[in-house]
Chains A and B, each alone.
Chain A
Amino acid sequence: MTTQPVHFYQIGSFAVGNRLLSDDERTVQSNLDRTNSIDSGHRACQGCGEALGARYALDAAMRATNGQIVAVNATGCLEVFSTPYPETSWRIPWLHSLFGNAPAVATGVAAALRVKGNRDVRVVAQAGDGGTVDIGFGCLSGMFERNDDVLFICYDNEGYMNTGVQRSAATPPAARTATTEVVGPEPGNIFGQGKDLPRIAMAHDIPYVATATVADLHDLERKVERAMELHGARYLHVLVPCPLGWGSASNETIHIARLAKESGLFPVFEAENGKVTSVSKIRRQVPVEDYLSIQRRFAHLFGKNPRPDVVAHIQEMADQNIARYGLVDEDADSKEMAE
């Protein structure tokens, strides 16, 4: 019998860093010299997933480009909490114009750099889900269609949180928001509406589309790095839980993102030129209840008058994702025995 040495690093690649790994196998975030693109003192809520996701993504983009990026920001939480006049949390070149035009502004920045003959500086545009799936959608689709050299990152917290938690086209079914109240036979946001933007982006056949969560840093950083290797329109959709809008404890932000992925409700995958090239398998599968029941926006599905029918409907959505992307490994025994 031949034996193969097993490399095993205690916490493998699940944690941010690991003293047992070599420097180049560690995350950007574990590095003392990370950019900290968005600095301390920003006014995001306690436990904000978006502040975290933005730092993860932009610090990774900074490393991938040797610090040569310009970031364009749509209006939204991220813009509001980072730049109350005259303070700024941004430690990178950053500009903001309007809610809906971030993709167009980014296209313009990329064009201007090209005209100036600057091939080194890369453009990243970022927006919340409102600025992406609703208000900025026309500009974004145009940016995709023209294949402009921009990485567009959507930090998806599933609603308009900055203005008081209103519904967006990324708000999940049954969720309570200020505009989808818990009334009537179908309380909360209705089923059958909303947009699955990663799939819409894939339908544009752009070079790169990927999803990620703040719960898997290695995966998120790897995807940013891959995106920066490519040129043309690229899209990264990052799930960033919102303690305020979701009604979750501030310390649960990463845990909830992890449950979103482990339940199958948020599929984590990447696609090149319109075809899925890899998926992050579910490691420890959980029922959707585990994810829903710790968020107050779904509290009306549990408690005194529970709605198991609605929960079952949401479970169906998760199962559909699992089937569509092949999120559960059939050969469960062979899964990451050693990382």
Chain B
Amino acid sequence: MEIPFAITLDVGTSRANHTGSWRVERPVYVDRMPPCNDACPAGENIQGWLYEAESGNYEAAWRKLVEENPIPAIMGRVCFHPCETACNRVQVDEAVGINAVERFLGDLAIEKGWDLPPVGTDTGKRILVVGAGPAGLSATYHLRRLGHQVRLVDSAPQLGGMMRYGIPAYRLPREVLDAEIARIVAMGVEVELGHVVHDIDQERREGGFDAVFLAVGAQLGKRVNIPAGDSSHIIDAVSFLHQVADDDPPLLGRRVVIYGGGDTAFDAARTARRLGATDAVIVYRRNRERMGASGEELEQALGEGITVRWLSTVNKFEGDRIVLEKMELNAEGFPEPTGEFEELDADSLVLALGQDTDLSLLDQASDVTVEDGAVEVQASMMAGASGIFAGGDAVPADRTATVAVGHGKKAAHGIDDFVMGRIPAQKDRHELATFDRLNTWYYADAPRTKRPELEKIRRQTNFEEVIGGLHEDNALFEARRCLSCGNCFECDNCFGVCPDNAVIKLGPSQRYQFDYDFCKGCGICVKECPCGAIEMVPERI
């Protein structure tokens, strides 16, 4: 190069000046645990599947979803969605309607006939799964994917457990239930229905099973001693819902009283209403705040003309008259009798006071501990050391279908480790992506999409589904309300806001990388990252 007059050096790029040496802190990309994933009892990667749904790639979203949970169309209806309670968007406007999008994806998969992922290479191990409810089905699915042979037995004539015999059809249409169960059975599962297991050890020995998963549920409705006349009609809610599911509903009359305040009480009341009861009255000994059922369920029930008598107990049932005793809450919040009584006309009384497990099949299994009617299990869901695993309502935990699905998955991995002779891998959990780490400026304002509800008048008389689904437009909208807490969603902010061009964009779905030769450590990228997926760490000098 010819150098002009009075110039002694060639011009060069400033890239020779490695400004990264100024830095005392460096930004690093992190993945944090989104609160929805953290709260999901089934261990779904919700943020992950919403990410796919956001771009309209519903099949990829569904595939990511069924990695953890094989029955999204069911869960999209019956799950009590703790994910939405935990959702960070609550603090911006309203939670993302995760449950609604899950249902949309589940329904779409049924409509399009998408298949579950292929079964694993055959390990030659045989597993017995007792109980074909959500826990048993979930375990079956994950065990098949891990390559184990599964024999699934249930005492009922059809698969589904409490999802079929406990949850009414207006909440979970049977064709949805059947479709998702059929998909699991199609993975190659030996099914035996109407089969009662009396002795688990004997059954295991005779069948040559390497491990057993007990998911027998809680099928026995609790009874209390209520003084009643001979002609008084009393039935427990579990039996009542079971008979309705069998298409053989009992005759309850026009005035039905339901005793209890959990989801089952509401299911029973709403079912009684659909069977022709003009009065369906729930009697509950505590108040609304302490009710076990969800607020959503209460609102829907009230909308269907069901009434609730708070702070009342059933004292006796004589002829066509129920005597209620009024209660009041003491300082600890426990209901105490007041000695005041009132009467209520009733043709029948449904008891929804909780359920017990029938664990008599464990009587001969010496190393399994049963306490308070539930099987004690370790983190791997193993009960004792013998290869007997348990989950769902049979173990101490919240008794919901979602928890059961999570148990099934956990047990399947525990069984896999057990039969393959592996030491269970320790999984590190990412740090929680809390709201204060987000920069919510960047998210567009958007209210939540409500799912349509059946007209009240229609749902009092039939078992049609009450809550409608989303359609493609509003499902996409709802998915896009996700803040992607703690996980990069490639908004290019870090790439754009760096004054030193020290962020390298790696291309679609490849994310970014820092150029530490030039990063001065100003931290703008961290501050302006919408989802909190970058953090500053001190430089080691």
> Are the CB atoms of A14 and B13 closer together than 8 Å?
no
Q: How far is the CB of A6 from chain B (nearest CB, A)?
A: 6
Assess A254 versus B530: contact at CB under 8 Å? Given A11-B491, A52-B497.
no
Assess A14 versus B477: contact at CB under 8 Å? Given A29-B492, A82-B14, A253-B524.
no
Contact pick for A250, options B10, B502, B522, CB 8 Å: B522
Q: Which residues of A contact B524 (CB under 8 A)?
A: 47, 250-251, 253-254
Tell me if A5 is interfacial: C-beta within 8 Å of chain B: yes
> Are the CB atoms of A336 and B444 closer together than 8 Å?
yes
For chain A residues 1-51, which have a beta carbon within 8 Å of chain B?
5-6, 8-12, 14-20, 26-27, 29-30, 32, 36, 39-44, 46-49, 51
Contact pick for A14, options B443, B447, B489, B498, CB 8 Å: B443
For chain A residues 195-222, which have a beta carbon within 8 Å of chain B?
217
Contact pick for B55, options A6, A19, A30, A284, CB 8 Å: A19
Q: Which residues of A contact B274 (CB under 8 A)?
A: none
> Are the CB atoms of B9 and A40 closer together than 8 Å?
no
Tell me if A114 is interfacial: C-beta within 8 Å of chain B: no
The main secondary structure of chain A at its interface with chain B is loop
Q: Which residues of A contact B491 (CB under 8 A)?
A: 11, 15-19
Q: Which residues of B contact A18 (CB under 8 A)?
A: 491-492
> Are the CB atoms of A14 and B444 closer together than 8 Å?
yes
Q: Which residues of B contact A52 (CB under 8 A)?
A: 497-499
Chain B 495-507 interface mask (CB, 8 Å, partner A; 1/0)? 1111111100101
Assess A11 versus B444: contact at CB under 8 Å? Given A40-B515, A41-B19.
yes
Tell me if B12 is interfacial: C-beta within 8 Å of chain A: yes
Chain B 1-27 interface mask (CB, 8 Å, partner A; 1/0)? 000000001111111111100100000
Assess A49 versus B13: contact at CB under 8 Å? Given A10-B443, A11-B442, A253-B524.
no
> Are the CB atoms of A337 and B446 closer together than 8 Å?
yes
Tell me if A86 is interfacial: C-beta within 8 Å of chain B: yes
Contact pick for A32, options B54, B484, B501, B505, CB 8 Å: B505
> Are the CB atoms of B54 and A10 closer together than 8 Å?
yes
Q: Which residues of B contact A14 (CB under 8 A)?
A: 441-444
Q: Which residues of B contact A41 (CB under 8 A)?
A: 13-19, 518
> Are the CB atoms of A20 and B55 closer together than 8 Å?
yes
Assess A30 versus B496: contact at CB under 8 Å? Given A9-B480, A10-B480, A19-B55.
yes
Contact pick for B54, options A20, A49, A254, CB 8 Å: A20
Tell me if B333 is interfacial: C-beta within 8 Å of chain A: no
Chain A 55-95 interface mask (CB, 8 Å, partner B; 1/0)? 10000000000000000000000000010011111000000
> Are the CB atoms of A86 and B10 closer together than 8 Å?
yes
Tell me if B493 is interfacial: C-beta within 8 Å of chain A: yes
Tell me if B128 is interfacial: C-beta within 8 Å of chain A: no
Interchain CA distance A243-B60 in the complex, whole Å? 44
Contact pick for B508, options A19, A42, A89, CB 8 Å: A19
Contact pick for B11, options A10, A12, A86, CB 8 Å: A86
Most buried by B among A26, A82, A250, A251: A251
Chain B interface: which size bin?
A: 35 or more
Tell me if B527 is interfacial: C-beta within 8 Å of chain A: yes
> Are the CB atoms of B522 and A251 closer together than 8 Å?
yes
Q: Which residues of B contact A252 (CB under 8 A)?
A: 527
Tell me if A258 is interfacial: C-beta within 8 Å of chain B: yes
B482's closest neighbor in chain A, by CB? A10
> Are the CB atoms of A15 and B492 closer together than 8 Å?
yes
Interchain CA distance A284-B508 in the complex, whole Å? 32
Most buried by B among A10, A12, A19, A20: A10
Tell me if A120 is interfacial: C-beta within 8 Å of chain B: no
Tell me if B305 is interfacial: C-beta within 8 Å of chain A: no
Tell me if B31 is interfacial: C-beta within 8 Å of chain A: no
Chain A interface: which size bin?
A: 35 or more
> Are the CB atoms of B493 and A339 closer together than 8 Å?
no
What is the number of contacts between chain A and chain B, taking CB atoms within 8 Å?
170
> Are the CB atoms of A49 and B499 closer together than 8 Å?
yes
Q: Which residues of B contact A9 (CB under 8 A)?
A: 444, 480
Interchain CA distance A17-B490 in the complex, whole Å? 8
A252's closest neighbor in chain B, by CB? B527
Q: Which residues of A contact B441 (CB under 8 A)?
A: 14, 258, 284
Q: Which residues of B contact A51 (CB under 8 A)?
A: 499-500
Tell me if B528 is interfacial: C-beta within 8 Å of chain A: yes
Interchain CA distance A15-B489 in the complex, whole Å? 11
Chain A 242-268 interface mask (CB, 8 Å, partner B; 1/0)? 010000011111110010000000000
> Are the CB atoms of B523 and A27 closer together than 8 Å?
no
Q: Which residues of A contact B493 (CB under 8 A)?
A: 15-17
Interchain CA distance A258-B505 in the complex, whole Å? 25
Interchain CA distance A262-B497 in the complex, whole Å? 19
Q: Which residues of A contact B444 (CB under 8 A)?
A: 8-12, 14, 336, 338-339
Q: How far is the CB of A7 from chain B (nearest CB, A)?
A: 9
For chain A residues 230-246, which have a beta carbon within 8 Å of chain B?
243
Q: Which residues of B contact A12 (CB under 8 A)?
A: 443-444
Interchain CA distance A19-B484 in the complex, whole Å? 13
Chain B 250-278 interface mask (CB, 8 Å, partner A; 1/0)? 00000000000000000000000000000
Tell me if B520 is interfacial: C-beta within 8 Å of chain A: yes
A16's closest neighbor in chain B, by CB? B496
Interchain CA distance A339-B442 in the complex, whole Å? 11
Q: How far is the CB of B306 from chain A (nearest CB, A)?
A: 31
Chain B 523-536 interface mask (CB, 8 Å, partner A; 1/0)? 11011101000000
For chain B residues 457-480, which have a beta carbon within 8 Å of chain A?
473, 477, 480
> Are the CB atoms of A88 and B505 closer together than 8 Å?
no
> Are the CB atoms of B16 and A255 closer together than 8 Å?
no
> Are the CB atoms of A8 and B499 closer together than 8 Å?
no
For chain B residues 323-363, which have a beta carbon within 8 Å of chain A?
none
A12's closest neighbor in chain B, by CB? B444
Q: Which residues of B contact A250 (CB under 8 A)?
A: 520-524
Q: Which residues of B contact A82 (CB under 8 A)?
A: 14
Assess A15 versus B19: contact at CB under 8 Å? Given A39-B14, A46-B520, A250-B522.
no
Q: How far is the CB of A234 from chain B (nearest CB, A)?
A: 24
> Are the CB atoms of A11 and B443 closer together than 8 Å?
yes
> Are the CB atoms of A15 and B530 closer together than 8 Å?
yes
Interchain CA distance A55-B497 in the complex, whole Å? 10
Residues of A near any B CB (own CB < 8 A): 5-6, 8-12, 14-20, 26-27, 29-30, 32, 36, 39-44, 46-49, 51-52, 55, 82, 85-89, 217, 243, 249-255, 258, 284, 335-339
Closest 10 CB pairs of A and B: A17-B492, A16-B496, A251-B523, A41-B14, A47-B522, A12-B444, A40-B518, A86-B9, A29-B496, A46-B522
A-B contact pairs, 26 of them (CB 8 A): A8-B446, A10-B444, A15-B442, A15-B496, A15-B530, A16-B493, A17-B490, A18-B492, A20-B55, A27-B496, A30-B492, A40-B15, A40-B502, A40-B515, A41-B14, A41-B15, A41-B16, A43-B19, A44-B500, A49-B499, A52-B499, A86-B12, A88-B14, A250-B523, A284-B441, A336-B444
Residues of B near any A CB (own CB < 8 A): 9-19, 22, 54-55, 441-447, 473, 477, 480-482, 484, 489-493, 495-502, 505, 507-508, 515, 517-518, 520-524, 526-528, 530
Question: With A10-B484, A46-B521, A48-B499 given, can you name 17 additional A-B contacts, CB distance below 8 Å?
Answer: A10-B54, A10-B489, A11-B530, A15-B491, A19-B55, A27-B496, A40-B14, A41-B19, A47-B520, A49-B499, A87-B13, A88-B12, A217-B496, A253-B524, A254-B524, A335-B445, A336-B445
